[in-house]
């Protein structure tokens, strides 16, 4: 069936460097995407979202890029900090359903 997957299960970066977390999605009907951060033992926290009519959206220290041609989503974190260590999930949604399909997750480890 349709699914959302991630390329890298674990990403280790030096503190202060930029991080890039990737996600591939397969449902061409998905038109809304969200990146979530999940710390150990807690529920997901919203980071940033993007609609399919955009290819880039910036937040505070984070940028999401959407490439609909290859069905690829990425999350860029600038100047990665120890507090960014967590598991990051991308989630896709199709208009009107409010159901989110989550990707497999990438663990980000920030090295001091």
Nearer to another protein, 98 or 112 (CB): 98
Nearer to another protein, 105 or 110 (CB): 105
Q: Residues interacting with another protein, by CB under 8 A?
A: 36, 41-46, 89, 98-105
Q: At its nearest, how many Å lie between another protein and the CB of residue 49? A: 10
Residues 21, 106 contacting (CB under 8 angstroms): yes
60-67 contacts, C-beta under 8 A, 24 or more apart: 62/35, 64/33, 64/35, 66/33
Residues 84, 19 contacting (CB under 8 angstroms): yes
Q: At its nearest, how many Å lie between another protein and the CB of residue 43? A: 4
Return d(Cα 56, Cα 86) in angstroms, integer: 23
Q: At its nearest, how many Å lie between another protein and the CB of residue 35? A: 13
Q: At its nearest, how many Å lie between another protein and the CB of residue 18? A: 25
Return d(Cα 93, Cα 81) in angstroms, integer: 29
Return d(Cα 11, Cα 8) in angstroms, integer: 7
Nearer to another protein, 69 or 99 (CB): 99
Nearer to another protein, 35 or 36 (CB): 36
């Amino acid at each position: 069936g349709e699914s959302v997957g991630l390329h890298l299960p674990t990403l280790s970066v030096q503190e202060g460097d930029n991080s890039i977390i990737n996600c591939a999605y397969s449902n061409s009907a998905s038109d809304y995407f969200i990146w979530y951060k999940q710390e150990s033992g807690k529920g997901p926290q919203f980071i940033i979202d993007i609609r399919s009519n955009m290819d880039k959206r910036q937040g505070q220290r984070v940028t999401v890029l959407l490439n609909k041609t290859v069905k690829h989503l990425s999350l860029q974190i600038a100047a990665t900090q120890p507090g960014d260590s967590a598991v990051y999930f991308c989630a896709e949604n199709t208009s009107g359903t409010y159901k989110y399909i989550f990707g497999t997750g990438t663990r980000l480890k920030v090295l001091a």
